[in-house]
Amino acid sequence: MTGTRARWAAMLGVAAAVSAVLAATGWLAPASSSKRPAAQDPGTCTILQAENERDGAPTTLRLLSLPDGTTKRLTQAGYWINAMGYSASQDVVYGVADGTRRGRYDHGAHAVRIDASGAVTDLGVVGRAGAQRPVWSQVTGATAGAIAGNRWYVRQDSDLYTVDVDPASADYVRVVHRTALRPVSLAVGVDDFAYDSASGLLYGVSTTSRGDSSVVTLDPATGKVVVVPGLRFPRGGAYGSVVLAPDAIYGTANRAGRRSVTYRLPRDGSGPAVEVSTGPALVSGDAAGCFAEAPPPPPPPPPPPPTTSSESPAPTTTPSPPPSSSSTPEPPPPSQPPPVEQPAAVVAPTPTPTPTPEATPEPKAVEPPPAPPPSKRRVQPTEKPQPVVEDTGARTQEKRRWGLTALILVLGTGAAVGHVRRHR
């Protein structure tokens, strides 16, 4: 009746909505789930109900989702089970079985253990600690049960028995303590209870004339039973299933007319009990657990952001052009020194004094110098050839002038000579 999460939903094929709650709460959860303390959110919890519709019939196990009241039939246990309790440390359920389909046990009640795979193990007679041989079980006919740590509290009549459920103990599933409950007029009307770890008390509903369907507390240490003022369920039959949520108490009346009814009662007395679910009328019933839905797992971490440094494109994109005075200004350098592979990513130009005229992949970054005409591709204009060409033309003209002058002189000389000869 108390405890945290369990691992049962995957094994028993619970509907998706119910199994999601169970995986978070502890009932029928996967084996890898970690244990959790009791519920913190009363808005959603799930309980396991053991229902006996007629005397001697095998117990039917159902899951009840609260507060919406959705139910899901799981299976028939094959045992007549009551006084269940959930051990969070062992992740198993213990229950008192008075018999099987074949009838009641010869030596009284046996302890049964239900594990996460759904297997039910008969642990034998719940005897007295130190007894040498089986005797009649003191918890035969018990109707209320809850587990706190390794102590299983079981009420039978006006006595509260403590059963050791530590598998390593020599008194495993043996009664190690008995406490008389007082007053009896309140105690005998409690047909189920749940353990409150905050107070160390057991909470139940007493349906005797004195209790009048009031919420009561039972102290395992002293056996004192006390009515909680202002908390009362509707009158009716026995409340065979009682579970606790942080802000509410859920109780199932075994028979209210021709049906069983589950109510929700605020623990602070702020309102009356409200009906949340109904089912078939029962001769007996029990419940275990009311746990909170666990928070969803955290989302996976986002992928790392892309590298924003200026050198990041070098390994994955085309090589960067050589630096130039006409290049656009580069972004500021990163806080870390650039990787050593950045220079290797640049294509080395042809070893000439001027850059190659091929177009670069990023024309905006570097403006290439104007390409020379195709016919003079190999001519490298320099300052030296130009004076040579101009000097050659001048000398040619000078030679022509001297040639013309010499010709005139020759002609003139010839004419002069002829004139002298004629006058002789």
Whether residue 251 has pLDDT greater than 80: yes
Question: Sheet of 151-156: strands edge to edge?
Answer: 144-148, 151-156, 159-164, 174-180
Do residues 276 and 68 lie in contact, with contact meaning Cβ atoms separated by under 8 Å?
yes
In this prediction, residue 268 carries a pLDDT of: 92
SS3 category, 115: coil
| Longest CA span, the chain | 187
User: Mean pLDDT of all residues in the chain?
Assistant: 73
Rounded Cα–Cα distance for residues 204 and 187 (Å)? 9
Query: Residue-wise over 275-304: b if at least 16 C-beta within 10 A, else e?
Result: ebbbbebbbbbbbbbbbbbbeeeeeeeeee
- Tell me the pLDDT tens digit for each residue of 332-346: 444 444 344 444 444
Asked whether residue 346 is domain-assigned, the answer is no
Say which residues have a Cβ less than 8 Å from residue 160's Cβ, sequence separation at least 6: 153, 154, 178, 179, 180, 181, 218, 220, 223
Measuring CA to CA, which residue among 71, 67, 60 is closest to residue 18?
71
- E strand or H helix at 21: helix 16-25
In this prediction, residue 387 carries a pLDDT of: 46
The torsion angle over the Cα atoms of residues 198, 202, 207 and 210, rounded to 10 degrees, is -80
Cα 9 vs. chain centroid, distance in angstroms?
17
Rounded Cα–Cα distance for residues 345 and 188 (Å)? 89
Asked whether residue 28 is domain-assigned, the answer is no
Residue 62 — very low, low, confident or very high, per pLDDT cuts 50/70/90?
Answer: confident
The boundaries of the domain holding residue 88 are 45-288
- Supply 160's token pair: 């509260």
Asked whether residue 187 is domain-assigned, the answer is yes
Asked whether residue 15 is domain-assigned, the answer is no
Asked whether residue 334 is domain-assigned, the answer is no
Other CB atoms within 10 A of residue 355 CB: 15
Asked whether residue 314 is domain-assigned, the answer is no
CATH number at residue 146: 2.120.10
Residue 117 — very low, low, confident or very high, per pLDDT cuts 50/70/90?
Answer: low
Do residues 137 and 126 lie in contact, with contact meaning Cβ atoms separated by under 8 Å?
yes
* Of 88-92, 146-150, 277-281, 304-308, minimum mean pLDDT range: 304-308
Whether residue 123 has pLDDT greater than 50: yes
Residue 46 — very low, low, confident or very high, per pLDDT cuts 50/70/90?
Answer: confident
Asked whether residue 411 is domain-assigned, the answer is no
Read off the pLDDT of each residue in 40-58 and give the average, rounded to a whole number. 75
Asked whether residue 172 is domain-assigned, the answer is yes
Whole-model pTM: value is 0.60
Number of domains comprising the chain: 1
In this prediction, residue 173 carries a pLDDT of: 96
In this prediction, residue 291 carries a pLDDT of: 47
Give the DSSP letter string of 242-255. Answer: EEEETTEEEEEES-
